Amino acid sequence: MIKSSSFSLHGSLWANKDKLFSNLKLNIKFNKWTIIIGQSGAGKSTLLKIIANLNIPDTFTNNIYKNTNIDLSFSWMAQNDLLLPWLNVIENVTLGQKLRREKINLNKANILLEKVGLINVANHLPSTLSGGMRQRVALARTLMEDNDIILMDEPFSALDTMTRSKIQKLTWSLLKEKTVIMVTHEPLEALLLSDNLYYIHNKQLKPIKLPKTKPLRKINSENVLYCHEYILKLLKKSYTL
């Protein structure tokens, strides 16, 4: 379906009178993970919403346009898993088909639940699951939709350290072939997962040079640790309290 190998974003974004992005340029490569690091309130989530054509609050003004001639479909994964509390796990995974009144593909849903290791709780309500499990349900739901682009808004930030690392690995292994745009404020997470990495500096997106190794990078390699230090230094300069 997707013919070109990338699409790009251009434009500026204001919140009230404050400029958040000025002449933003961002190139998104298909089938790669693009990650943006930035401070809270820097407009990261709003940028994702603009990419997905979602409504943003009236306080924002934006003239960002997408340089693409194909109709892209989007999935959304956020810190809050956005599961519907009255639907059980399998119903949440198949929600998209139900909303579009399509035939529900239970077979595929079961295979995906197997992949994320939740087949034994398929009939449980989200409120009975742990945060990590809920995020895995959200992952299965994303896979079920199989959209062109997956937008991730700090998807792992609500999880404890051990769970986060496991879910990062699982998410990466299941979505590595996909086009992912993620925003985060975790430099290490960004470093381990990204094919292309940017940080927000002076209302622009600046690329960060990554180690030559491919994701999923290992935290214990020297290159990665060195790069982590480097990113922290960069961010120190761009962050304001």
> Which lies closer to another protein via its Cβ, residue 73 or residue 173?
73
Among 76, 156, 198, 199, binds another protein (CB under 8 A): 76
Give the SS3 label for residue 181. strand
Among 40, 69, 85, 220, binds another protein (CB under 8 A): 85
> Which lies closer to another protein via its Cβ, residue 34 or residue 75?
75
Length of the chain: 241
Tokens of 104: 């529900």
131 is an interface residue for another protein by CB under 8 A = no
Here's the x/- map for another protein, 150-189, by CB under 8 A: it reads as ----------------------------------------
Among 96, 131, 211, 215, binds another protein (CB under 8 A): 96
CA-to-CA separations, 86 to 28, 102, 139, in angstroms, rounded:
36, 20, 18
What count of other Cβ atoms lies within 10 Å of the Cβ of residue 153? 19
Residue 216 contacts residue 169 (beta carbons within 8 Å): yes
Tokens of 157: 């930030």
In the chain, how long is the greatest CA-to-CA distance? 52
DSSP state of 161: H
For residue 161, which phi and psi values (nearest 5 degrees)?
-55, -50
Binders in 29-68 for another protein, by CB under 8 A:
49, 52, 54-55
In single-letter form, the type of residue at position 174 comes to L
Among 82, 104, 111, 234, binds another protein (CB under 8 A): 82
Among 98, 120, 213, 221, binds another protein (CB under 8 A): 98
Count of residues engaged in binding another protein, rule: CB under 8 A: 24
What is the C-alpha R_g of the chain? 18
Residues forming the site for another protein (CB under 8 A): 49, 52, 54-55, 73-76, 78, 80, 82, 84-86, 95-96, 98-101, 125, 127, 145, 147
